[in-house]
Amino acid sequence: MSILYIYLQKKYKMEQNNNLTIFNLNTKLFTNCIEGITEDQSNAIISPDTNSMKWVAAHIIWARYNASNIMGNPPANNPYNGLFEDFRPTNKEDDYKTLVEIKDEWKKASDLLENSFSKIEPDFWEKEAPMKFPLLGDDSNAGLITFFAQHESFHLGQLAILKKAIVGVSMKYQ
């Protein structure tokens, strides 16, 4: 076994563990963001240029399902397929589901994602990713999954700000 091989194995194992840790933290924060929100509040838009809490929550779930799919563990059903392509904003005609359904889908997507980390092949991380993000500068699956973790964290920040603006209560780190 070469030193380079050992180094790469450790590097990608660390990236896998770091991303899983971020996703697990985000699992808790997502729940904290939507806790205490009503259906009406979840549909509110605070300006013409923002999305609703329900849109953001559904978008994060959609992305989690896509991350699992890329990791070789596709969901049985992603109820949000077709709703977020081409940076599509909130649309009153779209069905983002009820908050109860969103919580249920979050649990399913979170369980699937955690399971996906345990099922990936050892060489998954260094393989070329099926999607490219020029800003990232890393075309590997490790780079793509790292992007998904950051993307999710970004949108959780949006959920937290929307919660504070709509109901006057901050998301809690607990």
Looking at the domain assignment, is residue 28 inside a domain?
yes
| Rounded distance between C-alpha atoms, residue 114 and residue 124, angstroms | 15
pLDDT of residue 95: 92
pLDDT of residue 19: 87
Q: How many residues does the chain have?
A: 174
Q: What is the mean pLDDT of residues 92-118?
A: 95
| Rounded distance between C-alpha atoms, residue 146 and residue 136, angstroms | 9
Looking at the domain assignment, is residue 110 inside a domain?
yes
Q: What is the CATH number of the domain that holds 10?
A: 1.20.120.450
pLDDT higher than threshold 60 for residue 6: no
| Rounded distance between C-alpha atoms, residue 155 and residue 150, angstroms | 9
Q: What is the mean pLDDT of residues 69-92?
A: 89
Q: What is the pLDDT of residues 16-55, one digit of tens each?
A: 678 898 999 999 999 999 999 999 999 999 998 899 999 9
pTM of the model: 0.88
Looking at the domain assignment, is residue 172 inside a domain?
no
Count of structural domains, the chain: 1
pLDDT of residue 15: 54
* Residue 168 or residue 5, greater confidence: 168
pLDDT higher than threshold 90 for residue 93: no
**Three-state DSSP class for residue 128:** strand
Domain carrying residue 147: 3-167
Closest Cα to residue 145, out of 58, 59, 73, 70?
70
* Residue 5 or residue 40, greater confidence: 40
| Helix 3-34 × helix 141-167 angle, to 10° | 20
Looking at the domain assignment, is residue 174 inside a domain?
no
**Three-state DSSP class for residue 101:** helix
| Two tokens, residue 161 | 């700000």
Which are the contacts of 147, defined by CB distance < 8 A and separation ≥ 6? 133, 136
